[in-house]
Chains A and B, each alone.
Chain A
């Protein structure tokens, strides 16, 4: 930085108001510039005067007692005084005189009497909406300033008065066709109350959750603005939708407005023919809520039966707490055009594609930290309730291309929290323990599998099984002590499909192939006398060792590297595919077994000969 720092730059430096880059530049300059350092010191001395007001201030016990005492009193309703402009008085006087003249000129029997005029004008807090509703349609005689004035009061009251729980039309008031122009600062908003119900439908294939909220909104007759904010959350504002659940023919959701310069905020314009509470459904997509399945299998001691328990874990990092939410989990792949989290971070809901603001994300992190305390408190509450907990049932049903799991009752899932729920519990599943040896896939190790089917014969088959991690244990002794056998990840298993769980390398079962003999044969020569085709003959001895105390089945797959092969073996085999043969062998407990095979593979022109 060549020029000296201005006073503004010095203030910004001193109070860390500038960007980091500017701060570094200023610091660099100050190192080398005595003049600017002196100016900075002068400013520091100047602002040191602010510390004269830094004295610690203590609240007296009396004041605290007064404050606590006043919370014991019932909440005082705010009374909004309705001020009468001066011209209203003048107009009233003129009308009063006019009315008197009119009365004097009319036959006395035709008039109802001057009670309307004599009746005192009620203030806003004296006039109740319920009175208006009880009184029915206003008589035509109650016109003039008195009627208009009362009307205004009552509409104003209706705007402010959430005490009316009854939906009722006001016959005299017709809703204007055009909505009122409402600049951001002057807008009158309908308060968004607490959720009455909330339903989460969580997809596991994409970072996507459909939220449906039911809220009772208090509307006034006419035009209403409803404000919805999604700051510090991962809600996709482009997906917001609002629908009345009742009075649909009298309520019209006109538009959703995203005001300029106001971030993470939208306002619905609602035209209502009724006033009072109306239940609404708000739906939107959010990101950050996920679920995944995982399973725990416990094998019996003889490893012929298995207890399989399925769990789902629901996690919430959406920035929003969802209390008492009905939770539904979707299995299946969803095609989505945008990433919801990206949409939520946009500065404006319909921003240019690809432009993402990160402030909101940073803000969310702050909020997440703040929710830590809430989380601890929730934990305490949950721990208290643990005594009453019983596993909730998860209802499963097919849904088009997807499968839907609905968790019984409702769940509270605070932000930054996860929750594990039991999905199913299948007992006595008949399983087969299977060992596999395939050098091509697993090298020289024998891999252990547990095999069963997702069908009724195996006490399952009611629903597909979603992707998830599986951990398998075995009952080690009669006391039900468990021993961990291995774990794996399973892919989506449809109904009636077989499952093989890979439990990793087996240490107590060995397969050792040995090449006993190799020779070539059946040479074919071309016109120049070069070798153009031949056979290779290999003899293998396979030694199998089972040191377990249980009988086992081993599947050995051998690769010949070509589809032109012939095999002679001591034991039966099956052709697995063009280049592989497979042997299935049973082994007694603590036993060894050996078998041999000779394979002839044809190469070059010999392949043609074999084909013919």
Chain B
């Protein structure tokens, strides 16, 4: 029988190192996906990912039997919002990281993708451009709206679960979602 989240957390508190690993593997993809969409940057998302699970480790004893997934997303949301805010205050550019995708980079990426996938390079360039536009549009949303959109649309949580994660009412979630979509409707590219 598969271990429940609660039993894994309890085992972790008792010092079972395997339990925490299982939790990380169970939710890792979801959390990293969430953080990538929140931060728009794999590097930063990986940092936030580590920070998220570090907080889970530190705060494990405070988990009180509610849904672990919601609790985890709540922590990830707080970490993401804090991290993004910190980065905006003092932006850090990694020395070995590519700069944001400009036209040249997009073409380069598209060329690689075209070789890999045997697709039309111009289509790939267009797709990469559009993806970047979407990313910018999502990044432009206020943090709460972005968290709502990402949780509801990409992480496929229902509105009640999103409300539990963000600690607000379902009505507030719907309002945030509508505002996010209204903004995106102006900014998203036509495909």
Chain A residues close to B by CB (< 8 Å): 7-8, 11-12, 15, 17, 43, 45-50, 52-54, 56-59, 63-64, 66-68, 70-72, 75, 263, 321, 363, 366-367, 370-371, 373-374, 376-377, 380, 414-415
Q: B75 near A: Cβ within 8 Å? A: no
Please tell me which one of the listed residues B20, B25, B191 contacts residue A49 in the complex, with CB atoms under 8 A apart: B191
Please tell me which one of the listed residues A45, A63, A68 contacts residue B21 in the complex, with CB atoms under 8 A apart: A68
* Contact between B50 and A49, CB atoms less than 8 A apart: no
How distant is the Cα of A54 from the Cα of B127 in the complex, in angstroms?
13
Cβ of B43 to closest chain A Cβ, rounded Å: 11
Q: Specify which chain A residues have a CB less than 8 angstroms from the CB of B7 in the assembled complex.
A: 377, 380
How distant is the Cα of A115 from the Cα of B182 in the complex, in angstroms?
64
* Contact between A47 and B184, CB atoms less than 8 A apart: yes
Closest to A194 in B: B61
* Contact between A15 and B6, CB atoms less than 8 A apart: no
Q: Specify which chain B residues have a CB less than 8 angstroms from the CB of A373 in the assembled complex.
A: 4-6
* Contact between A64 and B28, CB atoms less than 8 A apart: yes
Known contacts A57-B36, A64-B25; 14 further A-B pairs (Cβ under 8 A)? A11-B178, A47-B181, A48-B191, A49-B133, A52-B127, A53-B134, A63-B49, A67-B53, A67-B54, A70-B54, A71-B57, A367-B66, A373-B5, A377-B4
Please tell me which one of the listed residues B4, B6, B24, B181 contacts residue A64 in the complex, with CB atoms under 8 A apart: B24
* Contact between A374 and B134, CB atoms less than 8 A apart: no
- With contacts A52-B131, A59-B32 taken as known, whether A43 is within 8 angstroms of B185 at the C-beta atoms is yes
- With contacts A46-B185, A68-B21 taken as known, whether A54 is within 8 angstroms of B154 at the C-beta atoms is yes
Cβ of A434 to closest chain B Cβ, rounded Å: 52
- With contacts A47-B188, A53-B138 taken as known, whether A370 is within 8 angstroms of B67 at the C-beta atoms is yes
How distant is the Cα of A412 from the Cα of B117 in the complex, in angstroms?
58
How distant is the Cα of A414 from the Cα of B65 in the complex, in angstroms?
10
* Contact between B185 and A374, CB atoms less than 8 A apart: no
How distant is the Cα of A50 from the Cα of B183 in the complex, in angstroms?
13
Closest to B3 in A: A377
Cβ of A357 to closest chain B Cβ, rounded Å: 11
* Contact between A8 and B178, CB atoms less than 8 A apart: yes
26 contacts between A and B (CB under 8 A): A7-B182, A8-B178, A11-B178, A46-B185, A47-B184, A47-B185, A50-B153, A50-B184, A52-B131, A53-B134, A54-B154, A56-B33, A59-B49, A67-B24, A67-B49, A67-B50, A71-B12, A71-B57, A75-B57, A263-B169, A363-B160, A367-B66, A370-B66, A370-B67, A373-B4, A374-B65
CB within 8 Å: A-B pair count: 124
How distant is the Cα of A48 from the Cα of B160 in the complex, in angstroms?
24
* Contact between B131 and A11, CB atoms less than 8 A apart: no
* Contact between A377 and B29, CB atoms less than 8 A apart: no
* Contact between B29 and A56, CB atoms less than 8 A apart: yes
* Contact between B130 and A52, CB atoms less than 8 A apart: yes
Cβ of B130 to closest chain A Cβ, rounded Å: 6
Q: B190 near A: Cβ within 8 Å? A: yes
* Contact between A68 and B134, CB atoms less than 8 A apart: no
* Contact between B4 and A7, CB atoms less than 8 A apart: no
Q: B135 near A: Cβ within 8 Å? A: yes
Q: Specify which chain B residues have a CB less than 8 angstroms from the CB of A48 in the assembled complex.
A: 191
How distant is the Cα of A59 from the Cα of B37 in the complex, in angstroms?
14
- With contacts A47-B181, A367-B66 taken as known, whether A59 is within 8 angstroms of B50 at the C-beta atoms is no
- With contacts A15-B181, A67-B49 taken as known, whether A321 is within 8 angstroms of B65 at the C-beta atoms is yes
Q: Specify which chain A residues have a CB less than 8 angstroms from the CB of B66 in the assembled complex.
A: 367, 370
How distant is the Cα of A47 from the Cα of B137 in the complex, in angstroms?
12
Closest to A363 in B: B160
Closest 8 A/B residue pairs (Cβ): A59-B28, A57-B33, A373-B4, A71-B57, A377-B7, A52-B131, A49-B188, A67-B53
Binary contact readout B1-31 vs A (1 if CB under 8 angstroms, 0 otherwise): 1011111001010000100110011001101
- With contacts A50-B184, A54-B154, A373-B5 taken as known, whether A17 is within 8 angstroms of B24 at the C-beta atoms is no
Q: B147 near A: Cβ within 8 Å? A: no
Closest to B149 in A: A50
Cβ of A410 to closest chain B Cβ, rounded Å: 18
* Contact between B28 and A53, CB atoms less than 8 A apart: no
Cβ of B94 to closest chain A Cβ, rounded Å: 16
Closest to A75 in B: B58
Cβ of A236 to closest chain B Cβ, rounded Å: 20
How distant is the Cα of A366 from the Cα of B37 in the complex, in angstroms?
27
Please tell me which one of the listed residues B29, B134, B182, B190 contacts residue A57 in the complex, with CB atoms under 8 A apart: B29
Q: Specify which chain A residues have a CB less than 8 angstroms from the CB of B134 in the assembled complex.
A: 49-50, 52-53
* Contact between A59 and B174, CB atoms less than 8 A apart: no
Closest to B173 in A: A17
How distant is the Cα of A479 from the Cα of B49 in the complex, in angstroms?
66
Q: Specify which chain A residues have a CB less than 8 angstroms from the CB of B153 in the assembled complex.
A: 50
Please tell me which one of the listed residues A17, A54, A377 contacts residue B177 in the complex, with CB atoms under 8 A apart: A17
Q: Specify which chain A residues have a CB less than 8 angstroms from the CB of B184 in the assembled complex.
A: 47, 50
How distant is the Cα of A14 from the Cα of B75 in the complex, in angstroms?
29
How distant is the Cα of A35 from the Cα of B7 in the complex, in angstroms?
54
Q: Specify which chain A residues have a CB less than 8 angstroms from the CB of B103 in the assembled complex.
A: none
* Contact between B191 and A63, CB atoms less than 8 A apart: no
* Contact between A66 and B50, CB atoms less than 8 A apart: yes
* Contact between A71 and B4, CB atoms less than 8 A apart: no
Q: Specify which chain B residues have a CB less than 8 angstroms from the CB of A56 in the assembled complex.
A: 29, 33
